[in-house]
Amino acid sequence: MKLSFVPVYITLHVVGLVNALWPIPRNLETGTSLLKLSSSFDIQFEAGSSLSPPQDLLDAISRTKHRLWSDKLGRLVVGRGEDDREGLESAASLSLLTLALDSHSQSTTTTNDDGSSTSHSLLPISVEAVKDIGTRSEEYSLKVPADGSPAVIKANSSLGLLRGLTTFEQLWYWLPARDAGNADEGDARGAVYAYQAPVVIERDYPAFPYRGFMLDTARNFFPVEDIKRVLDTMSLVKMSVFHWHVVDSQSFPLTIPGFEELAQKGAYSSKEIYSSSDVQSIVEYAAERGIDVLMEIDIPGHTAVIANAYPEHIACPGATPWSQYANEPPAGQLRLASSATTNFTVSMLSSIAQTLPSTMFGTGGDEINTKCYQKDPNTQEDLKRFGATLEKALDSFTQSTHGALRQLGKKVVVWQEMALDHRVSLANDTIVTVWVSSKHAVKVAKKGFRVVHAPSDYFYLDCGGGGWIGNSAGMNSWCDPFKSWQKAYTFDPLARLSSAEASLVLGGQQLLWAEQASPENLDPIVWPRAAVSAEIFWTGSRHPSGQFRTVAEALHRLHDVRFRMVQRGVRAIPLQPQWCALRPGQCDSGGLPSMVWGFVLQKLAKVIEWYKFIVSLLTTKYSEHIGFNEP
């Protein structure tokens, strides 16, 4: 009659023993020893190396040293590490982390004035981070011995050293002094320690170079400080690209040299503008943290607000009902058939692009509304004059704008419609961001373009917050449901791709469209979810154990990095009750197989799609009935 509750516990506990690194390295061996951080701990370059480190690497080292002491993250186990106290008394102490460079490192040689001795100066992180995507060296190796002898990070670039430092930071936990009377005293006498020494990571490097996050700063504005906090958190999980969807139809917060009116008349207010120095400081801050800033000026759609400064370049500005002329209000698109507008666009894009170090620049190209142009007398006249179709005009417009950017050395990044829905010739090196559905990646690859995965069905962070259109009582968001971290984690970057096509995949990103986001909910809506793609695209499909990555294994590590984010002042949401966070596996669903649910859900999804279809039919019928199609 006695219950046996034990067997399930044991199996699940083992899962919790993996090291809590995010993204998990591709190679990882860990031990079970405790290792204290010595109060004299220092980070130094290999003895006898003649390399003169760049300032941004020195800054990165200082940040790491600071964080090791200030993170103060208690282990996510019952007692928060209290059980380690006894063992720590006899544990070895680490006093030194050595940074070593491979002999064939990327550096420049400078000859001294006297001509005799030469010193090698390592290229700055900020230079390495903005090299052509796919040519950056992020690889590092890390060894932390258990006996207190020096730890070593070895890499062949400053960027690789940064990635190694980032991993190193995640090894350390905090145990306050026992019975610390007051918090301050406790903090002063606490121990910083690792609990899985020795740690050996042999050649960790990303599976994909593009590990991004996209932020829309046009639907609602985000101050520079918020963006920098995002960049810091991206760097914590080794993300490499900040895709900045900086302007859109609703507001134009970007100062463009020579086109200052755009922001003066298009920003929400004079306080909600990124000045040129703001932009430079964001780009620099990012690059020093290993992040390339991909700025996007979406054209020719999503440009209504340009009409505030340059009404002559915008078709159907503020047209209503907006749903006829745009995917969301307000309507308005660049007059792509006008040569004046094309010239304007080329100058504007060039003016901002040439201030940016990245070799990528985004020109959008999504959701172009045909009806807006059909109803715009100017555009119709232009088309008539040239005898061109709208598609032909779009092709010329695209070639002119892309051509100008390519002359500046930029690879152009566009949304999928440009490759799949329009008859536009794109250069072979154009990068296509797939967003409508994960299924479309194959089509893009078959056309030979490089792919960035940004599928709304896995990676859109804004889904599931309810519809935001004013009078839609009780409607769900268009891309419902919420894309949970688990959903995102199951994304397969190479699904249905041949191995030739697979080589076209640069990586991917989660995205925050900001219709229902602002500085107030930025952190919780982004973190820790956006870290999921960082692991997918760094680690690849397999856990270092050789098994495929699973949600069940990842959960505890994601908890860990989430708690670390909170310690660093990032308001990341909890994934579970703290009770679960401290007890890996015990809040799994009692073994209820996901297969059963998976089957049911698949069926359900089909029915829903079928109903969606009926709804859209009904809606169209109704619109026709009440005459919405003929304004």
Query: Which amino acids are annotated catalytic?
Result: 367
Q: Which stretch binds its own copies (CB under 8 A): 133-141, 238-246, 493-501, 521-529?
A: 521-529
Residue 318 Cβ vs its own copies, minimum distance, rounded to whole Å: 6
Q: What is the DSSP string of 542-606?
A: B-TTSSBP-HHHHHHHHHHHHHHHHHTT--PPPSS-HHHHTSTTTTS-TT--HHHHHHHHHHHHH
Kindly tell me which residue out of 316, 348, 349, 431 binds its own copies, with binding defined by CB under 8 A. 316
Please enumerate in sequence order all residues whose Cβ is within 8 A of that of 144, keeping only pairs 6 or more positions apart, or say none.
35, 94, 151, 168, 171, 194, 197, 198, 199, 200
Kindly tell me which residue out of 116, 181, 593, 630 binds its own copies, with binding defined by CB under 8 A. 593
Distance CA 330, CA 314 (A): 12
Residue 156 Cβ vs its own copies, minimum distance, rounded to whole Å: 37
Q: Which stretch binds its own copies (CB under 8 A): 26-34, 294-302, 442-450, 609-617?
A: 609-617
Based on CB atoms, which residue is closest to its own copies, 443 or 487? 487
- 533 touching its own copies, by CB under 8 A: no
CB atoms within 10 A of CB 220: 20
- 597 touching its own copies, by CB under 8 A: yes
Instruction: Report CA-CA distances (Å) from 110 to 117, 262, 299.
Output: 9, 44, 44
Based on CB atoms, which residue is closest to its own copies, 386 or 613? 613
Sites for its own copies among residues 548-577 (CB under 8 A): 550-552, 555, 566, 571-577
Based on CB atoms, which residue is closest to its own copies, 162 or 525? 525
Sites for its own copies among residues 405-464 (CB under 8 A): 464
CB atoms within 10 A of CB 121: 15
Distance CA 180, CA 191 (A): 12
Instruction: Report CA-CA distances (Å) from 532 to 462, 471, 509, 526, 554.
Output: 15, 34, 9, 10, 9
Based on CB atoms, which residue is closest to its own copies, 140 or 537? 537
Distance CA 463, CA 33 (A): 43
Kindly tell me which residue out of 62, 118, 119, 320 binds its own copies, with binding defined by CB under 8 A. 320
Kindly tell me which residue out of 58, 188, 340, 600 binds its own copies, with binding defined by CB under 8 A. 600
Closest CA to 155 of 97, 226, 196, 105: 105
Report the SS3 class of residue 429. Answer: coil
Residue 552 Cβ vs its own copies, minimum distance, rounded to whole Å: 4
Residue 457 Cβ vs its own copies, minimum distance, rounded to whole Å: 10
CB 350 within 8 A of CB 402: no
Kindly tell me which residue out of 175, 514, 531, 536 binds its own copies, with binding defined by CB under 8 A. 514
Residue 229 Cβ vs its own copies, minimum distance, rounded to whole Å: 13
Site string for its own copies, 491-510 (x = CB under 8 A): --------------------
Based on CB atoms, which residue is closest to its own copies, 190 or 574? 574
Residue 397 Cβ vs its own copies, minimum distance, rounded to whole Å: 23
Distance CA 119, CA 122 (A): 10
Report the SS3 class of residue 455. Answer: coil
CB 330 within 8 A of CB 249: yes
Distance CA 4, CA 204 (A): 43
Site string for its own copies, 456-485 (x = CB under 8 A): --------xxxxxxxxxxxxxx--xxxxxx
What's the angle, vertex CA 68, arms to CA 66 and CA 74, rounded to 5? 135
76: tokens are 């996510």
Based on CB atoms, which residue is closest to its own copies, 47 or 596? 596
- Total residues interacting with its own copies, rule: CB under 8 A: 110
Q: Which stretch binds its own copies (CB under 8 A): 64-72, 98-106, 164-172, 579-587?
A: 579-587
Site string for its own copies, 35-74 (x = CB under 8 A): ----------------------------------------
CB 418 within 8 A of CB 395: no
Sites for its own copies among residues 350-379 (CB under 8 A): 375, 377
Q: Please give the sequence-ordered ranges of beta strands (E in DSSP) within 183-268, or none if there are none.
A: 191-204, 210-216, 241-245
Sites for its own copies among residues 247-306 (CB under 8 A): 249-251, 268-269
Residue 489 Cβ vs its own copies, minimum distance, rounded to whole Å: 7
Residue 266 Cβ vs its own copies, minimum distance, rounded to whole Å: 10
Sites for its own copies among residues 321-340 (CB under 8 A): 321-324, 328-330
Distance CA 375, CA 394 (A): 16
- 578 touching its own copies, by CB under 8 A: yes
Phi-psi sector, 181: left (phi>0), alpha (psi -120 to 50), beta: alpha
CB 602 within 8 A of CB 594: no
Residue 419 Cβ vs its own copies, minimum distance, rounded to whole Å: 28
Based on CB atoms, which residue is closest to its own copies, 375 or 406? 375
Sites for its own copies among residues 611-630 (CB under 8 A): 611, 614-615, 618-619, 622-623, 626, 628
Residue 614 Cβ vs its own copies, minimum distance, rounded to whole Å: 7
Distance CA 279, CA 273 (A): 10
Based on CB atoms, which residue is closest to its own copies, 495 or 615? 615
- 190 touching its own copies, by CB under 8 A: no
Tokens 């089957």 map to which residue?
A: 599
Residue 174 Cβ vs its own copies, minimum distance, rounded to whole Å: 13
Kindly tell me which residue out of 65, 392, 447, 487 binds its own copies, with binding defined by CB under 8 A. 487
Kindly tell me which residue out of 18, 68, 192, 580 binds its own copies, with binding defined by CB under 8 A. 580
Based on CB atoms, which residue is closest to its own copies, 167 or 438? 438
Based on CB atoms, which residue is closest to its own copies, 371 or 406? 371
- 591 touching its own copies, by CB under 8 A: yes
Based on CB atoms, which residue is closest to its own copies, 188 or 601? 601
- The kind and range of the H/E element at 512 are strand 505-512
Tokens 């290999």 map to which residue?
A: 46
Based on CB atoms, which residue is closest to its own copies, 6 or 500? 6
Residue 117 Cβ vs its own copies, minimum distance, rounded to whole Å: 53
**Which residue type occupies 96?**
L
Q: Which ranges in 177-223 belong to alpha helices (H)?
A: 183-188
Burial 244-264 (b: 16+ CB within 10 A, else e): bbbbbbbbbbbbbeebeebbe
- 347 touching its own copies, by CB under 8 A: no
